[in-house]
Structure 1
Amino acid sequence: MGIRNCFKKPFQDQRLFDFISDASGKAGSLPPGPERDDLLNKIDKARAAATLYKWANSPELQPPK
């Protein structure tokens, strides 16, 4: 049995922004239908994730007092 190399990739917000940009362009060229709707849903989820990531890693974020 081989050794499995398990590691987590660090979360990269730039990767999310690249996905949002590429997927938005692709969604604009797709005709209305289920494939486009699925892609738009993925874009919405990626935008929410990017917003949460930016909020959680902002320098203004302070612990409760």
Structure 2
Amino acid sequence: MTLVDDLDGVLAPDGSTVQFSIDDDVYEIDLSPRNRQKLRAAFRPYIDASRRARYRITDLPAVGPKK
């Protein structure tokens, strides 16, 4: 399967889906290696100044409608 980079619309046969979160919102974006590297570089100062959470987003329980 060939991905299309969501940022620039270019075919990205060696691209991948990147997942990230901020606050309580989780996002996914398909990126070429070049744009994935640019995203990581943009996040780097914040990652370097932060600490790892005790949980990962995938570890959180799913929330459904209240019955």
TM over 0.5: no
Relative to total residues, which structure has the larger helix share, 1 or 2?
Answer: 1
Report which of the two structures shows the higher radius of gyration computed on alpha carbons.
1
Relative to total residues, which structure has the larger strand share, 1 or 2?
Answer: 2
Q: Which one has more relative contact order, counting CA pairs under 8 Å at least 6 apart? A: 1
